[in-house]
Amino acid sequence: MSAITIEDELVHYEVLGRGKPIILIHSWLGSWRYWVPTMQQLAMKYRCYALDLWGFGDSGKDPTRYALDKQVELLEKFMDRMGIPKVVLVGHGLGASIAAQFAIKPTTAAKVHRMMLIAPPLVDAAPTLTKMALTTNTGTPAITAVMTTPEPPVRLTDSQAKMPPVTVTTLPETVSAKVEEKTASTVTAPPAAEKPQVALQPANAIKHIFEEHPLEELLSRATDPATADYEKLKAETAKTDKQAVHTSAEAFSRISTFRDILTATAPLCAVLGENDSLLPKPEETLLQQLDERPSLKLVVMGNTQHFPMLEDKAQFVRLLKDFLEAPDISTLEMKEEWRRRKR
Amino acid sequence: MAKILIAEDEPDIRDLVEFTLKYAGHQVVTAINGAVAVEIVPKEMPDLILMDVRMPKMTGYEACRALKGIESVAHIPVVFLSAKGQESEIEEGLGAGAYEYILKPFAPDQLIRRVQEILVQHGIG
């Protein structure tokens, strides 16, 4: 086991191979371990690092470090400690969001050579918050409301629809009702100094998914429980501090990995499992926007769920190697087996 | 889980085999050539030795013969790792006291499975 300490907390990682550096970042379910087959296949040409994020696997479990920006900082500090000036990031789920944030952060963006984002949460759920206080025509503060920009509906997959309900709403019902009720009367905005601070959360499909269901249940939906890899994932998921999952999921009220992808400038390959039943299926309009982004290849891997790197190891490694070796991402040849499919 | 010694001069392959076996839960000791293997096996007393055939200073065959001549370690099974196309070496290796051959390149999963089978055959693991 390899480990370093960052700010007096243990960070567990493993490394294999020699060559250009690649950092593999895990998702909400599991730890560094499910990258092992990928590391073994890349080791002859690349130096592959796989680390456990804060709260996962064998890394430190201090809840004050679980926020997404702290995980991004962990990645930055890890690279500094390993002496890696520029890297290929391969992120999965939560790891994809961390990689995308890293790739748009002004202090780190230039450190990303290119990145592959597997099963990134493509929910455009970071609405612009408009805080406004409504008062009655008597000047009495009556209600504090949070207006959000319209969000595209979050479409759930069939299997998500069958599970105990994951409620995805635009506004909490009670707040919506109050807004309707009060906006029906004459209202005036109060002076700026009186604007109250409100902290209502907008819809957050990712948060709902991870707060409503035990991790083990989510794992059984994310990949086939009949496989040998499932048992390994289950053992690693059991090490996770659930608070780390919940805290990171909360960030999706404020950030959008979809928008980060559009903002990032590093060459990028986004990989989706055709039958991913863990995350909300992205709207076709979002996928079209990704398709139009320069230096981006969007790939839907057939017959895979949330863990394409385990569910079709050979195809995944071929795709990753092609992506790593393409001199120019725009020239990456799309093979029939992983051609982008219209949903 | 077992203690396994890997004697392999090629660092990339040595690292990969070490990583693969450690991931499978085994304890791993490494040697960079046959001479080092002969030196450390009596101290480490591994359950199984995986050894490359072609190594500097002392080849796998020479190391295997030397180990079979040491009473305290003669019982430890030695498995040769040999490149495909060098099958003619198998007979010579088995003649030196090796238990089996595994041909390179091998898939990590295959290696783990074969190692597990050999350990079971020897009442280990």
- Residues A25-74 have pLDDT tens digits of 999 999 999 999 999 999 989 999 999 999 999 999 999 999 999 999 99
CA dihedral A107, A114, A9, A73 (to 10 degrees): 30
Show residues of chain B in contact with A37, CB under 8 Å. 108
Nearest CA of chain A to the CA of B13: how many Å? 8
Residue A68 or residue A134, greater confidence:
A68
Mean pLDDT of chain A, nearest integer: 80
Residues A236-247, mean pLDDT to the nearest whole number: 96
CA nearest neighbour of A218 among A57, A26, A63, A27 = A27
Q: Answer whether residue B88 shows pLDDT above 80.
A: no
| ipTM for the predicted complex | 0.76
pLDDT at A327: 84
Q: Answer whether residue A174 shows pLDDT above 50.
A: no
Helix (H) or strand (E) holding A280: none
State the angle between helix axes of A94-104 and A68-82 in degrees (0 to 180), rounded to the nearest 10: 70
pLDDT at A153: 41
In chain B, % of residues over pLDDT 70: 96
Distance of CA A127 to the CA centre of its chain: 17
Q: Does B105 sit behind a cis peptide bond, omega within 30 degrees of 0 on the bond before it?
A: yes
Show residues of chain B in contact with A44, CB under 8 Å. 12, 16
CA distance A239 to A324: 32
Q: Give Cβ neighbours of residue A57 (< 8 Å, ≥ 6 apart).
A: A12, A26, A31, A32, A33, A236, A239, A240
In chain A, % of residues over pLDDT 90: 64
Nearest CA of chain A to the CA of B12: how many Å? 6
DSSP B23-92: HTT-EEEEESSHHHHHHHHHHH--SEEEEESS-SSS-HHHHHHHHHTSTTTTTS-EEEEEETT-TTHHHH
Residues within 8 A of A (CB atoms), B 56-115 only: 108
pLDDT at A334: 60
3-class SS at A259?
Answer: helix
Residues A269-290, mean pLDDT to the nearest whole number: 92
CA distance A51 to A35: 10
Contact B108 A14 (CB under 8 A): no
pLDDT digits (tens, 9 = 90+) for A283-309: 899 999 998 888 899 999 999 999 999
Q: Return the structure tokens found at A187.
A: 């209202």
pLDDT at B85: 64
At A214, the pLDDT band (50, 70, 90 cuts) reads very high
- Is A54 within 8 Å of A65 (Cβ atoms)? yes
Q: A57-61, A150-154, A329-333, B8-12 — which one is most confidently predicted on average?
A: A57-61
Contact A43 B15 (CB under 8 A): yes
Q: Is B42 on the interface with A (CB under 8 A)?
A: no
Longest dimension (CA), chain B: 34
Residues A96-112, mean pLDDT to the nearest whole number: 97
At B47, the pLDDT band (50, 70, 90 cuts) reads very high
Residue B88 or residue B117, greater confidence:
B117
Give the range among A256-260, A272-276, B54-58 with minimum mean pLDDT.
B54-58
